[in-house]
Structure 1
Amino acid sequence: MKHKKNKKSSKKQVLLTLSTALALTTALPAAAHADERIYSSAAGQQSLPPAEWTPASKAEGPQTSVTSDQGGSETQTESPDKAKISKEKAVSLAKELVSIPDDYTLQSTSFNTETLSAGKRTVWNLYFAKKVKNRNVGSINVSIDATSGELRGYSTYLDDPTRKPVYPPKVDRAAAQQIATEFIGKVSPKYKDELVYNADFGIEFRPPLNGDVRYSLRYDRLVNDVAFKDNFIDIEVDGEGHIMQYSIRWDDTVTFDNEKPGITLEQATAKIREQAALELSYLTNYNIKSPAEPHLTYSMPSFMLSAKDGSVWSPYEQSRKPNTTKPVNESSLGAKPTGGKKLDAEQSAAAVKAAFTLPEGAELTDSGFNEYENEYTGRTVSAWNLNWSIKKDGKQAGSAWASINSQTGQVTNYSYYMDNDYARQSGQKITTITYEAAEKKALEVIKKQLPGYVHELYLQDDSERYATYSKEDVDSIRDYSFSFQRRVNGALVDSDGVYISVNAITGEVRNYNVQLSDFAFPASLPSVISKEKAIDAFMDYYKVELTYVSPALWNGHPIPFEKYNLMVAAGEIAPGAGGEGGTQEKAKLVYRLVERPLDERVFLDAQTGEWRDLNTGDKTELVKPQASDIVGHWAERELGMMVAYKALDLTDGKVNPNAIVTRGEVIKMLVLSMNSGRRPYYEAMNSSADASFKDVGSSNAYFLYVESAVEQNLIDKGDGSFNPEGKVTREEMAELIVRALGYNTLAKREGLFDVKFKDAADIENKGQAAIVAGLKIMSQNAAGNFQPKREVTRAEASAAFFRFLQARADLQEAPLRN
């Protein structure tokens, strides 16, 4: 038996820092335009071709494959030889609809069959590539309907590191929308009058911070003046106004219920309030600085009403009956496990054998020890991972695996598999264990393994799911699955639960997975806001819309949500499809709750009624306040950008542009600017002992940004004090920006810069001042003075960082290549 010991000090990610030499950043997407009239362009290195466009073979010359989204053999009507549009015609149409440069050659084609609501559609997928020295440097992908010849998809990619990004973008979202609308009119004119622009899709609430901008736009199908959001056209436009991707999802075989709504939007909203179901839960896995504490939240799942009569309606069959009132046992059957055992591999293996009956012939072959710090609780977790080989008649017949907490002795994962478990003759019945017997087994396992949790674990009834199976399906069930939710004083613990699968042939446990956090929950449920107040909050979070929705059917019968998603993902059905031999139902007119577009993930604090940021736990608002004191200000755009990214806070709705900026604010502004607006993640966020400065501990609002700046060599540790509330001078600002550009070493070279400021004698770091002035990031005053000791205002800092972003884009260089 092999023993492997892998000790880890932390499970957290290491901070991903940016290079200080930003001028050498990898090139952003290039613009080698195939043809201006169709807004064709080429994307950059990070934009890989979609999977469906990957060449089927690397052999020279074009390759053709025939595929189907339903699997199995193709029928004659799905054969490319029978297609109305031949491959050659499809290639010709592609070159008419999309301008393909001469140095792009056809590399592969595929002929695909797509399932519709009632029928099928065949499509030619064409992959064109540009090669330089036997290396692919670009591609254009076109999808052509094999019956109508219309364009169904387009995407482009080009690896061109010589292109410099443009910042700010030449095209804003409004202009991109106009470009997309014109493109649809050119390549798909028949849909133009049947579309409505989806203003919520792909919306960005904050201005871009780099030149690599992509606007994702969607146009929904319009039926009877109502949006049908299962059908749409998606277009992606870059910051220079070029079409990067185009795709259409449209099913003309869908039929619609043409009845007018029986209730108004106002009446539907009132009924939704009446029918709303609230859920109290403990949120334990949000990304706040650890150690974290469970946060009691309210949730309100979205649902639909029939627009005809206002009754609750769902496109899916409800297979699972939520169990929120009946635990495995009304009271605990024992104590919860405690630590301090420090089991070795042999003791851990014995614990598994005591918990589960390992098959005859099981031999422990491998063990590994793992230790890490739980990123939410801050406590150390130690575990053994064990593997068994199962032999029968001297031959390999299966395997087993388990994980055991070495401190508590609790088995947290167990699984085993036998190679010939499910072998059967044609027509032979596999299933011998009933659902009821398997459920009894699962409950016995919970009581035996988790006696201290039985009063907090609730089995979710899945019996209805198995009741929908045909007799043949029932006879071939291999495993029954059981899931247990955890509730503490009635409140759901979001990340906790137990999963068990019981073999339908032998009645043995085949899979067992435990996820139970060891947070210290309150002894009783804390006081919470009223349900009426919570519903008020969620009606601000959601909006009510009238739309068409297709029922999820198979063989003419409703199917569960989970099964529906699996079948759609596998290509077995399309939304609203009736299935083989089934009947097609019309898309229903419904009122439904949909989330309003937000720029952050949020949760509702059940105790205070406040919305909080899921990443930080900080109080937030659904509608972001706008600074009331910057309208008409010379730095209105720049200040607005910093407010949007929360780099500057508002006080009574004001940003106070002429206030002196603090050191903490400047560092936050710089790090966000360099990181495309993303909040940094730092490994040491759970411990003040790891802080670089004694006055910026892990609880400080600027901690993550200051630590990120230290990692990127933007600031030095000095005497160990940072003084986050201290003021910033122009000379300090210049040094920060030069460091961010990666030119600080260059700036220190004496005699390299011709410093002509009248107050040059007062400037300690003359090179840095010369660089920021030369790049027009910061400027001298009318008298020719740089004013190195003058303190910087919020407006001046915002403007400087905006110009820094412009300069960074202009200074970007392409790497040298052979």
Structure 2
Amino acid sequence: MQKTGQKITACCLAVMLLITFFPAGVLAADKPAVSLEQAIKTVKENFEIPPDYTNFTSAYNSFNNTRVWSLTWSAPQGTGAPGGSFNAQVDAGTGEVVNMNFLRPVKQPAQGVQIPAVSRTKALQTATDLLKRLAAKHLSELQPAPDNNQVIPLNYGPVTYSFRWQRLINGIPFPTDGVTIGINGTDGRVVNYNLNWTKASFPPATGAISAAKARQVFDDAGMLQLQYFLPSRIRPLTAGEKAPVKLVYQIHNPSNGVIDALTGKPLVPESGKWIQNYGLPGGKGGAEMGGADQASTPLSPAEQKEIAKTAKLISQDQAAAAVKKWLPIPDNMVLRDVGLGVDWQSPDIRIWSLSWNTTKPGAGEPQYISARVNAQTGELIGFNLPYPNGGLEQSGGMDRPAAQKMAEDFLKQVQPQRFQEVKLDDIVQQPAPMPMLKAGQNPPVQNFNYVRLINGIPFPGNGMTIAVDTVNKKIVSYNLNWPALNFPAPDGILGAKQAVDAFLKYRPLTLSYTQVFGPDGPGEARLVYQPLAEPGMLVSNLIDAKTGAPLDWQGKPISRSGAFHFNDIAGNFAEKEINLLGQAGIFGEYGDAFHPNEKITLISLLRAMLMVKNGVEPTRDLTDQEIIKQADDLGWLTEDQTPNATVSRLTLAKLMVRLLDLDRAARIKGIYVLPYKDAHAISPDATGYVALTWGLGIIKGDGSNFNPDHLTTRAEAAAALVRALEVKQ
């Protein structure tokens, strides 16, 4: 018995040791080839972990046939350390570092400006050295990705340089795979590293159709559709204001523009599957009705107008009756929530929102019902009932044609006129992951989207949506989206071929690999042609139907510029400063030419200053008048000047001082001494500005004289601007 007990004790100790060295879920059968100790050593041999990060934790995860050690170092709380963390992941099968992120809070400059102390060239060398150490066995399949569009912002910091190496298989890019490395521009440290390397069998490129054939397939499939497009808005519309609608061409095909390079057909995954694709960009409200104010307080015209408008609305009871006309409400359900609000797309329209529920539904009855009614017309706008119990894996009792008939019979009754102005859209782009249906099985819910047509042109997002519960054979959701908008006539638009030309110029069809995914994770790799944008470019499926320009989610043209790499500054005294501003996306009036000896205009200098202060994107599209107004609001302009006026050296000095918020100090008289021979030619009101820019190293004149009337060149302005930014750090 004693020996038996000793054996049991020994077994228990062995199990405890196994649990200690391998976290829960890592059994002997799943023992990793790379131990935790080996993973820790690999990370510490390749990265510098701050010595104050003495807290350490680890985890082990297994997913998609991949096993990784997750390692985290951090500083103990309450020690006065600045905080942050160092995280790394090591492939437990190969020993490769697959991910690293170093986050350490830094003190931001007072004005939020950060000039990188480490050059991009030096950062690239650091990243390349790390790549050769950590991804040595992958180097033959890696190629540096173009990064001409990468912008290094100066209005917040610290700056991080990002470098990417793209994986090539058989000389063909696989967009998801490769290595990305981030280098801190302040101290040159590696702050992130990511290796993404798919383990799959890739078909050979032999037998692939030509690029010309792929283009023909793209044309024949009608990948682009002429549509009306309502840009998203940051601010809500005011009463009487109508949102602008644009005519666009947009990808509208189940393949999302991807063509199988071996079959020469659009690649449409089977139901429940989807493909990696890099072509994607991708209620209740308002005040409640209250009692009338009986006081004699005078009302404004706007308030009187609102009261008159509200008096014409249907009552709550009438709204409830409008719902019951189309939807049976069980007697045991209670109307609990009611609201009257404004339609966010059309502020002139009021919406009643009503909600019924019960804690004890009868057999086959819903537990809740919500609905919306147009408060002006009594029109049913939408309703929602609970979806069938049992989840998405149960089988429905109706096939899609039968469910469609039920849906359309309802729509023809509730919206007889508008139903004639819609068409069924059965294209679903990038289907969401769903359980695979068994052969012959009907889904428990069938969804239908009827798109609104104007001038025969579809308006996606507008129309009617409806869902049919095929288990209980009833409609469980209906929604009408039909705002009153002004639609431009389809005049002067590009033809279908011209639209494809414009779209593929922005996102050319590229022979590449992609991977098919399903409910069980990643699947087969496919050789495809897919429309890919340049690295660093914002990706959109939209182009303007009149100009062919790619559009963002606000309907604004997407800038193609990004960073600027000026070709006419070699050897210039301000080459370093001009390069820095170009990489930040500033001074791009002439594209990749800078014109260093040209006299700078006031508007060009002010635009550059605002880009530094507020960022490039918020400033890029401002008009000259808007630039002047913002500069005036900031106190930069105290003298009347025209936007296209040239800038004297004295004006440059004043602008740089005001950019640094030192104007008040510059206006103090009698405390400054000027080192210039022509100091007598500078007025007392300007002495402080000249002295400060000399003392701070921003402007030194010609070395002997200040020459206040000297007209500033673009190179001189760029040099002064960067020197001022260095003062702000």
Q: State the TM-score, normalizing by the size of structure 1.
A: 0.68
Distance in 2 (alpha carbons) for counterparts of 1:221 and 1:463: 30
Query: How far apart are residue 246 of structure 1 and its match?
Result: 1.4
C-alpha distance 680-510 of structure 1, shift in aligned 2 (>3 A): farther
Q: 1:104 aligns with which of 53, 68, 72?
A: 53
Match of 2:624 in 1: 702
Query: How far apart are residue 488 of structure 1 and its match?
Result: 1.8
Query: How far apart are residue 508 of structure 1 and its match?
Result: 3.5
Q: 1:658 aligns with which of 567, 586, 598?
A: 598
Distance in 2 (alpha carbons) for counterparts of 1:802 and 1:220: 34
Distance in 2 (alpha carbons) for counterparts of 1:806 and 1:389: 63
Secondary structure at 2:49 match in 1: coil
Distance in 2 (alpha carbons) for counterparts of 1:104 and 1:623: 37
Shifted more, 265-274 versus 490-499: the winner is: 265-274
Distance in 2 (alpha carbons) for counterparts of 1:624 and 1:652: 9
What amino acid does structure 2 have at the position aligned with 1:489? N
Matched, 1:361 2:332: yes
Matched, 1:535 2:506: no
Secondary structure at 1:365 match in 2: strand
C-alpha distance 238-343 of structure 1, shift in aligned 2 (>3 A): farther
Query: How far apart are residue 674 of structure 1 and its match?
Result: 0.7
What amino acid does structure 2 have at the position aligned with 1:800? A
**Conservation of the 8 A alpha-carbon contact between 2:249 and 2:543:** yes
Distance in 2 (alpha carbons) for counterparts of 1:127 and 1:645: 36
C-alpha distance 794-226 of structure 1, shift in aligned 2 (>3 A): closer
Match of 1:738 in 2: 657
Aligned residues: 657
**Conservation of the 8 A alpha-carbon contact between 2:179 and 2:194:** yes
Q: 2:192 aligns with which of 241, 245, 269?
A: 245
Q: 1:298 aligns with which of 229, 249, 252?
A: 249
Match of 1:231 in 2: 177
Matched, 1:143 2:89: yes
Matches within 5 A, 1:545-564: 545-552=510-517, 564=518
CA offset digits 1:109-157 (Å, max 9, x no partner): 2211120xxxx12211111111251677021112122233332221111
Shifted more, 185-194 versus 292-301: the winner is: 292-301
Distance in 2 (alpha carbons) for counterparts of 1:405 and 1:227: 53
Query: How far apart are residue 287 of structure 1 and its match?
Result: 6.2
Match of 2:449 in 1: 483
Matched, 1:785 2:723: no
Secondary structure at 2:95 match in 1: coil
Secondary structure at 2:106 match in 1: coil
Q: 1:455 aligns with which of 396, 411, 420?
A: 420
Distance in 1 (alpha carbons) for counterparts of 2:469 and 2:681: 82
Match of 1:125 in 2: 70
Query: How far apart are residue 316 of structure 1 and its match?
Result: 1.7
**Conservation of the 8 A alpha-carbon contact between 1:63 and 1:108:** no
What amino acid does structure 2 have at the position aligned with 1:399? Y
**Conservation of the 8 A alpha-carbon contact between 2:585 and 2:616:** yes
Distance in 2 (alpha carbons) for counterparts of 1:445 and 1:639: 65
Query: How far apart are residue 542 of structure 1 and its match?
Result: 2.4
Q: 2:166 aligns with which of 215, 220, 223?
A: 220
**Conservation of the 8 A alpha-carbon contact between 2:586 and 2:611:** no
Match of 1:774 in 2: 695
CA offset digits 1:74-108 (Å, max 9, x no partner): 584675xx334444443344334434344323443
Distance in 2 (alpha carbons) for counterparts of 1:445 and 1:65: 59
C-alpha distance 730-146 of structure 1, shift in aligned 2 (>3 A): same
Query: How far apart are residue 478 of structure 1 and its match?
Result: 3.8
**Conservation of the 8 A alpha-carbon contact between 2:223 and 2:257:** no
Secondary structure at 2:616 match in 1: coil
Distance in 1 (alpha carbons) for counterparts of 2:408 and 2:349: 27
Matches within 5 A, 1:414-425: 414-417=383-386, 421-422=388-389
What amino acid does structure 1 have at the position aligned with 2:267? S
C-alpha distance 295-759 of structure 1, shift in aligned 2 (>3 A): farther
CA offset digits 1:549-577 (Å, max 9, x no partner): 3344xxxxxxxxxxx4xx4xxxx412x2x
Distance in 1 (alpha carbons) for counterparts of 2:665 and 2:22: 56
C-alpha distance 288-356 of structure 1, shift in aligned 2 (>3 A): same
C-alpha distance 507-305 of structure 1, shift in aligned 2 (>3 A): closer
Secondary structure at 1:804 match in 2: helix
Distance in 1 (alpha carbons) for counterparts of 2:445 and 2:325: 23
C-alpha distance 803-413 of structure 1, shift in aligned 2 (>3 A): farther
**Conservation of the 8 A alpha-carbon contact between 1:349 and 1:386:** yes
Matched, 1:675 2:594: no
Distance in 2 (alpha carbons) for counterparts of 1:629 and 1:84: 55
What amino acid does structure 2 have at the position aligned with 1:543? P
Query: How far apart are residue 281 of structure 1 and its match?
Result: 1.6
Q: 2:265 aligns with which of 306, 309, 312?
A: 312
Larger radius of gyration: 2
Shifted more, 607-616 versus 481-490: the winner is: 607-616
Distance in 1 (alpha carbons) for counterparts of 2:457 and 2:655: 48
Query: How far apart are residue 236 of structure 1 and its match?
Result: 1.8
Match of 1:55 in 2: none
C-alpha distance 777-512 of structure 1, shift in aligned 2 (>3 A): farther
Match of 2:293 in 1: none
**Conservation of the 8 A alpha-carbon contact between 1:462 and 1:482:** no
Match of 1:26 in 2: none
Distance in 2 (alpha carbons) for counterparts of 1:362 and 1:235: 59
C-alpha distance 176-160 of structure 1, shift in aligned 2 (>3 A): closer
Match of 1:11 in 2: none
Query: How far apart are residue 371 of structure 1 and its match?
Result: 4.2
Shifted more, 503-512 versus 749-758: the winner is: 749-758
Matches within 5 A, 1:183-222: 183-199=130-146, 203-204=149-150, 211-222=157-168
Match of 1:4 in 2: none
What amino acid does structure 1 have at the position aligned with 2:727? A
Matched, 1:605 2:544: yes
CA offset digits 1:429-488 (Å, max 9, x no partner): 66344433432332244334444532332222379999995349947x443222222332
**Conservation of the 8 A alpha-carbon contact between 1:542 and 1:596:** yes
Distance in 1 (alpha carbons) for counterparts of 2:58 and 2:592: 61
Matched, 1:573 2:521: yes
Match of 2:370 in 1: 401
Q: 1:277 aligns with which of 212, 223, 236?
A: 223
C-alpha distance 797-92 of structure 1, shift in aligned 2 (>3 A): closer
Query: How far apart are residue 750 of structure 1 and its match?
Result: 4.8
CA offset digits 1:340-387 (Å, max 9, x no partner): 85455554444444453344433222334444875xx8x555444443
Match of 2:39 in 1: 90
Match of 2:724 in 1: 804
Residue ranges of structure 2 left out of the alignment (5+ in a row): 1-18, 236-240, 274-308
Query: How far apart are residue 404 of structure 1 and its match?
Result: 4.3
Query: How far apart are residue 671 of structure 1 and its match?
Result: 1.5
Query: How far apart are residue 796 of structure 1 and its match?
Result: 4.2
Secondary structure at 2:83 match in 1: strand
Distance in 2 (alpha carbons) for counterparts of 1:308 and 1:123: 35
Matched, 1:390 2:339: no
Distance in 1 (alpha carbons) for counterparts of 2:188 and 2:270: 44
What amino acid does structure 2 have at the position aligned with 1:458? K
Query: How far apart are residue 780 of structure 1 and its match?
Result: 3.2
Distance in 2 (alpha carbons) for counterparts of 1:710 and 1:64: 66
**Conservation of the 8 A alpha-carbon contact between 1:315 and 1:551:** no
Query: How far apart are residue 520 of structure 1 and its match?
Result: 1.5
Secondary structure at 1:131 match in 2: coil
CA offset digits 1:7-50 (Å, max 9, x no partner): xxxxxxxxxxxxxxxxxxxxxxxxxxxxxxxxxxxxxxxxxxxx
Secondary structure at 1:667 match in 2: helix
